[in-house]
Each structure stands twice: as C-alpha cells, then as structure tokens.
C-alpha cells in the first residue's frame, strides 16, 4: 500500500473525517495518514484500542514514536495517559494494550537506524516556553538529534504565521484549527510540507496546539527503497 508516498509533494489527511479500518488484531482499528508498505511499513497512523484490547509483542525494526490522544495506553513498561509522548527506538520491544481503551497517533519506521534513545514525556507537566524568534508561539521541546527535531507548538489565536522548514516539516493538530489555502485543518488533521516549501496559515479564534517534526524528510525512503 502507498498513501502519500511522494515526499516532494505536500500531503494532507484529515484524520477525523476518514473511516476506522480494522487491524489484524481484534479490538484495534486504524485511520491511516500516510503509509508505504503493508503490515510492516513506514507509516503514520491514528490507532484506536477498544477496552481490554492488545497488540502482539513486536520489535521496532525502524523505531516507533507516538502521542496518546485519548485514554490510557499501556505496555509492560508502564501506563501512559492522554498527552504522553513516547519514542521507542530501533531494536526495542513491547506489548501494547489498553484496559480502558485509548487512541494514539503513531509513526513507524522513520528513525535514524542508529538511534537508541528512549523518550517518555508527559506533555501536560511541561511548561511551554515563548519562542524567542516568533511572536505568538510557545514551544515544548520533545526530541532533537542530527536526524530530526520534534516539539509541541502552541499558536496564539487569530494570527497569520509561516509554516514549513528548509528540510521539510510535518504537523499534526492536537487542539484548535487553522486555515491553509482555504482548507480547514482541525483536530487530528495531518499536514506534510516538502523540503523548502513555506506556507502561510491563518489561526482561527482559539489557540492551536500542534505536534511538529522537522528535518527528517531528506532521510525518508522512497516506496522502492522501503520494499527492499
């Protein structure tokens, strides 16, 4: 399966508007944002666990990162409530589940192969800091290395701002909404801007919170490379 596999083009998926698709595991369903591959894939996906559901134990060959969007995600390492950001690097293993049900946004197979850094951050307990270079924007740093930068951004309401980055950028809306070229990006909308593409967005009348990743797209593998 290839969904938004051309990294030279802007890509958009409005997660809240697409159907849930059952996964191979009972009680676990998905909304696919981008994907190259079948069950083993380079993918960004919204995943819903029903109460008392679980996924089989597995190794993260290409790494896994996720945000808990609703409920409590669990594995043998702990319980992770809404607002938790996790990075499980290549070669790590876990058995995910949820006693009460949860929803996460997960990215698979997109790490530096040499990355071995585990990250667990409860974003609810972090103070957003004013971005010194941009008015009306606060940030919570989540991760940074030579491969990528990951952070939470809070955008003040009713402003116009530039988005994008020299090495590409990816946005996932957690709260609020903004408009890009007449299109509304609301909760669980996903936007990927290719290398060097900059755009202007209009933040609507409430604060916006977005999860943001930059720097990674020059390392992204094409569909042919992923299939090898």
Instruction: Give me the domains of the chain, ranges plus CATH numbers.
Output: 2-11+18-122 (2.60.120.10), 125-219 (2.60.120.10)
pTM of the model: 0.95
Q: Which residues contact 182 (CB under 8 A, 6 or more apart)?
A: none
* pLDDT of 61 strictly over 90: no
Q: Counting beta carbons within 10 angstroms of the beta carbon of residue 94, is it exposed (0 to 12), middle (13 to 18) or buried (19 or more)?
A: middle
46 pLDDT more than 80: yes
Confidence bin at 224 (pLDDT 50/70/90): low
Helix (H) or strand (E) holding 226: helix 223-227
Name residue, tokens 């946005």: 171
Q: What is the pLDDT of residues 160-208, one digit of tens each?
A: 999 999 999 999 999 999 999 999 999 999 999 999 999 999 999 999 9
Write out the DSSP string of 107-157: EES-S-TT----EEEEGGGSPPEE-TTSTTEEEEEEEE-SS-EEEEEEE-S
For residue 226, the model assigns a pLDDT of: 58
Whose tokens are 């981008």? That residue is: 34
């Amino acid at each position: 399966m290839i969904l938004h596999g051309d990294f030279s083009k802007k890509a958009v998926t409005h997660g809240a508007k697409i159907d849930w698709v059952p996964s191979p595991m009972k009680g676990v369903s998905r909304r696919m944002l981008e994907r190259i591959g079948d069950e083993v894939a380079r993918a960004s996906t919204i995943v819903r666990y029903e109460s008392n559901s679980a996924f089989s134990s597995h190794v993260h060959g290409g790494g896994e990162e996720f945000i808990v969007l609703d409920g409590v995600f669990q594995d043998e390492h702990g319980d992770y409530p809404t607002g938790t950001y996790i990075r499980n690097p290549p070669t790590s293993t876990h058995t995910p589940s949820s006693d009460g049900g949860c929803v996460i946004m997960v990215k698979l197979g997109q790490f530096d192969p040499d990355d071995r850094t585990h990250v667990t951050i409860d974003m609810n307990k972090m103070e957003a800091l004013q971005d010194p270079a941009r008015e009306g924007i606060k940030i919570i740093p989540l991760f940074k290395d030579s491969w990528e930068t990951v952070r939470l951004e809070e955008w003040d309401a009713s402003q116009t701002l530039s988005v994008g980055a020299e090495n590409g950028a990816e946005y996932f809306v957690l709260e609020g909404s903004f408009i890009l070229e007449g299109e509304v990006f609301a909760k669980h909308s996903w936007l990927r801007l290719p290398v060097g593409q900059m755009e202007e967005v209009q933040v609507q009348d409430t604060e916006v919170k977005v999860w943001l990743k930059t720097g990674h797209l020059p390392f992204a593998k094409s569909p042919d490379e992923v299939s090898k």
